[in-house]
Amino acid sequence: MPEMIKREKFAQPVNDDKVAQSWRERGYSCHHFTDPPGQEWNGFVHATNELVTVLEGKLELTIGDARCAAGPGDEVFIPRDVVHSVKNIYTGTTRWMFGYD
């Protein structure tokens, strides 16, 4: 399995167009999301691989039995068919992107 997180994959300030271009080149879709402090998305499973990149703020991701915190520019890989959750652990709004292959 590929490594779960690539720290600072994208330079700060994160340019969402560059993230989208990188993902499209790798066969991923690209969607934006904005979460208030404390927002949680729990227990998701997808039949595709997923990428997540934080634009502003900080997320905590639980992927199977592993947990990591992701900040601006980090890219997180979530393998298909693995239960995962995302939580905004930043004191303010977190803007992030996700995409599926």
pLDDT digits (tens, 9 = 90+) for 15-28: 999 999 999 999 99
- What pLDDT score was predicted for residue 25? 98
54 forms beta bridges with 72, 96
Q: Where are the domains of the chain?
A: 33-66+77-95
Which pLDDT band, with edges at 50, 70 and 90, does 49 fall under? Answer: very high
Mean pLDDT, the chain, whole residue set: 96
The 3-state DSSP class for residue 18 equals: helix
Q: Is the distance from CB of 18 to CB of 97 less than 8 angstroms?
A: no
